[in-house]
Amino acid sequence: MATASASVSTVAVIPQARISKIGGGDRGVKSRISVVDGNLCRNNAITRKLCAPRTSLGVSASRRSWNGKKGSLRTHYSMKNEMLRNQALMFTDRLFPACPAGSFKQVCCYNIRRQRGSFVERLTTRYSTNRTTMDVLNNKSDRMFVKHHNVQCAAVGPDEPHAVSTTWPDATLEKQGVGVLDPEERSIGLEDFLSYELPSHPKLYRGQLENGLRYIILPNKVPPNRVEAHMEVHVGSVDEEEDEQGIAHMIEHVAFLGSKKREQLLGTGARSNAYTDFHHTVFHIHSPTSTKDSDGDLLPLVLDALNEITFNPKFLPSRVEKERRAILSELQMMNTIEYRVDCQLLRHLHSENKLGSRFPIGLEEQIKKWDVDIIRKFHERWYFPANCTLYIVGDITDISSTIYQIQAIFGQAGLQRETIASPSLPTEPNAFGAIAKFLVPKFSVGLGGSLSQEKLAIPDQAKFTKKERHAIRPPVSHNWSLPGINKVADPPRIFQHELLQHFSFNMFCKIPVKKVMTYSDLRNVLMKRIVLSALHFRINTRYKTSNPPFTSIELDHSDSDREGCAVTTLTVTAEPQNWDSAIKVAVHEVRRLKEFGVTKGELARYCEAVLKDSEHIAAMIDNVPSVDLLTFVMENDALGHKVMDQQQGHECMVAVAGTITLEEVNSISAELLEFIADFGKPSAPSPAAVVACVPKKVHIDGEGETEFKISSDEISAAIRAGLEAPIEAEPELEVPKDLITMPQLQELRLRRKPSFVPLDLESGSTKLYDKETGITQRRLSNGIPVNYKISHTENQTGVMRLIVSGGRAMESSEARGAVVVGVRTLSEGGRVGNFSREQVELFCVNHLINCSLDSTEEFICMEFRFTMRDNGMRAAFQLLHMVLERSVWLDDAFERARQVYLSYYRSIPKSLERSTVHRLVTAMLNGDERFVEPTPESLQNLTLQSVKDAVMSQFTASNMEVSVVGDFSDAEIESCILDYLGTVIATYDNVKEYNPCPIKFRPSPSDLHFQQVLLKDTDERACAYIAGPAPNRWGFTVEGHDLFESINTLSGINSLNRDWSYQRATTIRRKKRWTNIRSHPLFFGITMGLLAEIINSRLFTTVRDSLGLTYDVSFELSLFDRLKLGWYVISVTSTPAKVVKAVDACKNVLRGLHSNKVVERELDRAKRTLLMRHEADVKTNAYWLGLLAHLQAGSVPRKDISCIKDMMSLYEAATIEDIYLAYDQLKVDENHLYSCIGIAGAQTGQEISACELTHYLDLDALEDEGSFGVEHGVLPVGRGRTLTTRPTT
């Protein structure tokens, strides 16, 4: 569906650049954790299916407003040196408690050593928590006294930066120490201080069993009563022989889906999944610690399932064949143009080793021929305890009990008799096994009967086979990009393909990973962050012409434990006709930064931003989800970086921030950027690869599609031309402290007299507070309704959302695309009042504001994330006030927005999925352009005035609603509401009445119920979409029917509102479940959600697992709130030979709910899934912001506070009969169901009929086996994301 989305600010610390945006166009982003300094950060990464979760520091710029894409970097550099010293002393006292007061002062004359690669990470939007300011420019040399404590750590081997250590002592348990300082006081200088090791995470427990299995335990209570258990097997595609390409992934599938013990966990509310990459195979289970129906701890059952999956899989021929079919389908599903671009980039980046050619999905011809014996032999070769690491993070209260469970379940894994010849080592005594049985009671039944106390003892005649993993992971060698090697750079490589739409240029520098173990290492990380942040802001704000030469410019520096190296990447994307100018701009700006360095102002702003971001993250130490902590520990431990908690990381960051100087930062800058700025010079590092990905044809106005020609020499010439262009130093920019000054605010108050008015005439109350939910409702005298909730779960942060009813549905027939282009125009311009785009950017930087502006089919939304420190909430309200009252509409921003959507439209035919969806939606909605991308003709008809009118006509008081959630007080939030929302004139001066065309589904019958899209491609693959009408969330249909009238008549209920409100009160008094939810306004929202879970489960077990027709199939509902309609969509990927049969199977599942009745077990599982999701999400501000939406919106009259209060009880009360009431509202008959099949291959592009498609069918008999319900898991992220195998389920 067509939406407009634009980021409107900048991000704290480091712009949220893509880890390696390899390939053209924006793709979906997954949220991930990465840390070196203990500061957990959400890391948006684009490309990772095979390669790596990467920890990275990225910078990018694109044609967007108010920073367009990444996040905001806090700056405030007004504190005096004495204040700086006090801050530094405060944190030094915490780091070095034995230091005499005042003995630590900063040093300015530190000679930095050149690092050949250091850890860097990406940070996205984080918000600071106090006014800590470090003067990084005026440091004075002095001495300081410290204490040093030696703490035994599980060391990482000197040649093993990419795997958990092989040097841990057998049968040991180690709790990581907090300190890093010696008990003896001694005076040290700065260089001595920087050489000290960083502290270790105080709650992290490490251990190793006698059989070599390593384990890491980290207690964490978010979410409560849940635990994450991940088994990481250190084997992947680089370990395969030439005739085994893809076998590691095959074993992942067979072992995981063949486990009966894992299957038994599904009824407990557990979720599980698996994935494979270059040298890791990971099986993970997210489980409750206990359930109402269980007798005790579920963790032993979880570990027992992982034990079966990893060390005792059932290699049944039937399961092998079933997974072979699934993998072959997955292979075709993955083979998108993005996947092929990723493959090309990795082939050139790692041309000297297996990483460039050994992708985990494998080779089709080999996958087809492996038998059970071959698969089992690979498993025996690599699946042994010493080659595995178990990670457990969650609500663990008894570490000793958890260790005992690990020992009991995994202790005998890999045990072999002496009669078997093997290079075994003598068995060492178990350090804790002998006494563990006295610490915890005996295991209860439920672990397969194999865990009795009598069997825990290891027989004397048995030995463990002590196989060892590779010393270096991955086991490959690299050709490094280091200065002084005098290597002649390879000419740029070109990958050209007919499915590419944009030009992309990638320049790589590859160096060894530098472990972050000391304060000096952390200091280098900080300086790199400052450099890349400065570059991001410069590029993003400097180029704002009506036709800028680039779409985006990104500079990323990241460590990859999957690839075993650190990579710096310059990525440039552009329209093909502007490719040379885009390259010139990118290398020109890089050279300018390398030659002149950052300014004093930039250093101050971005150093301050790092510290404030770090402090905020430290304040969130008790609110980080276990899955994020586990990912953080896995990645940083594998890289050999010191693992710290957030508080330690912040204290260490503050300690090193006060020691950096402008000269040192610019030295780091020169080193980091040398491979680009000095390209072609003998002394400079040679790029590891330079790769351009380009289309075969481009659209030229007036000429149509023409051949696109480009050569390596032309690319090299463009690089040289950019480097030879004249450069000037960066000027300092003036940053506004406020967008609305205090005198201006006082004048506004006097003129407009803001106040709160009664919410309704009957009660006369101006404030409605609900004690159960903590929600407050207010209404301003200008008519704007406001909802807010005080929440302390996210310390010192807040979120705010403005929702304007209307959206694209309000576009007139003469101005199709006006709203979506108008919203993009507003965000592209980035100006408000008399403030330039640069000033607005820096205002957001200073106050750590992240703002986004979106348009959907029925709403325009503006969302803010802010910190409560330094008046961050007031700053966000100021920006909202200025957008509502003093937005500036610019011709050049309008032209950019129009070009963006023109490019979107022209790219549709080059994407199989997009072209298939586009044709389906166009057919189902009778050609209504408001639900797809606007056409070139529509875009041409738009003007700046028409798009401005289309957007601003919706900004009226009756159309708007503001919701705020955060860690504030009533006084703080109500002051901001009155000052900045109450003083808004909430009506656009040139309001124009729009009478939009009604939205209708295509009349039936129609010859467009079945359609096809054939896309010419070098490789074959297929997808299909099936859709049909549904009601909206509140029971209205496109024909205008109110479904509550019909179902309440059947139930004998006369009044919707009276009955549900009365029943709710009765239910609360009696503390019983709802007896009849059909009178509640959220009835259809609840039952449709449960129905979707049930249909998804059936689609998986039937179409994927039993029939083997697809790897990926899903059912989704689009239930609108304001519009009186909705629809469902089934998406399925397959092969051309099976896609028609897959579509028929999906239709049979969809229509088969009456012949194959829903049973109580299915409904209970759906309830558990949605309730657990709600329980986890309800602890976040963003989720509450969604719950608050439409509470006072006149366009959504049935939404009220009961819809939030009753949600959980409504889920619990839903019955199978209720599910069928919802199901009967879906139109699934042939007259209402639409389907479209897309096939890519060598065909010419001519459409074929359904009958002609049948020659693709695979007529082999497909066995029908039992079903295996599996929950969706988390896909790792990083460069090469499209290469990593998909989650097994």
Residues 486-521: tens digit of each pLDDT: 677 789 999 999 999 999 999 999 999 999 999 999
Neighbours of 400 (CB within 10 A): 13
Residues paired with residue 1136 on neighbouring β-strands, in sequence order: none
Question: What's the rounded Cα separation, in Å, for the pair 42 and 31?
Answer: 6
The Cα-based distances of 643 to 31, 512, 1082, 1283 in angstroms read 20, 20, 46, 28
As a whole number of angstroms, the distance between CA 493 and CA 711 comes to: 9
Separation between Cα atoms, residue 417 and residue 69, nearest integer Å: 60
Cβ atoms of 180 and 196 within 8 Å: the answer is yes
Q: If you count DSSP H runs as helices and E runs as strands, how many of each does the chain have, helices first?
A: 37, 34
Q: Judge contact between 560 and 696, C-beta under 8 A.
A: no
Q: DSSP 3-state assignment of 474? A: coil
Q: Is 252 a catalytic residue?
A: yes
CA distances to 328, 331, 436 from 334, rounded to whole Å, are 10, 5, 47
Instruction: Read off φ and ψ for residue 788, nearest 5 degrees.
Output: -145, 155
| Number of Cβ atoms within 10 Å of the Cβ of 470 | 18
Contact 506, 345 (CB under 8 A): yes
Q: Which amino acid is at 573?
A: T
**Helical residues (DSSP H) of 358-517, grouped into ranges:** 364-367, 372-382, 399-410, 433-436
Rounded Cα gap, residues 1222 and 1231, in angstroms: 19
| Residue 170 β-bridge partners | none
- Quote the Cα angle for 1116-1117-1119, to 5°: 160
Quick check: 140 and 108 in contact, CB under 8 A? yes
Cis peptide, bond prior to residue 934, ω within 30 of zero = no
The answer to whether residues 212 and 467 touch, using CB atoms and an 8 Å cutoff, is: yes
Retrieve residue 420's tokens: 């078997």
| Closest to 1029 measured CA to CA, from 1003, 1053, 992 | 1003
Where residue 680 falls (left for φ over 0; alpha for ψ -120 to 50; beta otherwise) is left
Closest alpha carbon to 405 in 225, 227, 564, 608: 227
Q: Which of 323, 563, 838, 1162 is catalytic?
A: 323
Backbone angles phi, psi at 806, to 5 degrees: 140, -80
Distance, in Å, from the CA atom of 786 to the CA atom of 768, rounded to the nearest integer, reads 11
Find where tokens 């005739």 sit: 243
pLDDT at 996: 72
Residue type, 677: A
What is residue 489's predicted lDDT score, i.e. its pLDDT? 79
Expressed in angstroms, the distance from the first to the final Cα of the chain is 26
From CA 194, how far away is CA 950, in angstroms rounded?
58
Alpha-carbon distance of 682 to 177, in angstroms, equals: 47
With a cut of 70, list the residues of the chain below it in pLDDT.
Answer: 1-188, 293-295, 416-467, 486, 544-547, 986-995, 1048-1075, 1243-1289
- Positive/negative CA dihedral, 1035, 1040, 1043, 1049: positive
Dist CA 671 CA 489 (whole Å): 18
**Number of other residues whose CB lies within 10 A of the CB of residue 814:** 10
Which residues are bridge partners to 961 per DSSP? 803
Q: Is 738 exposed, middle or buried (0-12, 13-18, 19+ CB in 10 A)?
A: middle
What is the reported pLDDT for 993? 54
For 327, the 3-state DSSP assignment is helix
Strand partners, 775: 770, 789
What phi-psi label fits residue 628: left (phi over 0), alpha (psi between -120 and 50 degrees) or beta?
A: alpha
Catalytic residue among 252, 794, 858, 933: 252
Contact (Cβ atoms closer than 8 angstroms) between residue 679 and residue 608: no
For residues 1109 and 322, is the Cβ–Cβ distance under 8 A?
no
Q: Measured at the alpha carbon of residue 205, what is the angle toward residues 202 and 208, in degrees to the nearest 5?
A: 150
Told to judge if 762 belongs to the known catalytic residues of this protein, a careful annotator would answer no
**Residue 97 buriedness (CB in 10 A; 0-12 / 13-18 / 19+):** exposed
Closest C-alpha to 1142, from 1116, 1105, 1090, 1117: 1105
Find out whether 180 and 188 touch, Cβ atoms under 8 Å.
no
Residue 252 to residue 283: CA distance in whole angstroms: 8
Q: How many CB atoms lie within 10 A of CB 450?
A: 13
CA angle 184, 189, 192 (to 5 degrees): 70
The Cα 1160–Cα 1216 span in angstroms is 7
DSSP SS3 for 776:
strand
pLDDT, tens digit, for every residue of 613-646?
Answer: 898 889 889 889 999 999 999 999 889 999 999 9
Q: Could you tell me where the DSSP H helices lie in 515-661?
A: 519-542, 579-596, 600-619, 626-639, 646-657
Do residues 801 and 788 touch, judged by C-beta distance below 8 A?
Answer: no
Q: 906, exposed or middle or buried, with CB in 10 Å at 0-12, 13-18, 19+? A: middle
Q: Are 614 and 649 in contact (CB under 8 A)?
A: yes
Strands 214-219 and 388-394: parallel
Residues 6+ apart with CB under 8 A from 407: 209, 430, 432, 433, 436, 456
**1143 Cβ contact partners less than 8 Å away, ≥ 6 residues apart:** 1024, 1026, 1132, 1235, 1237
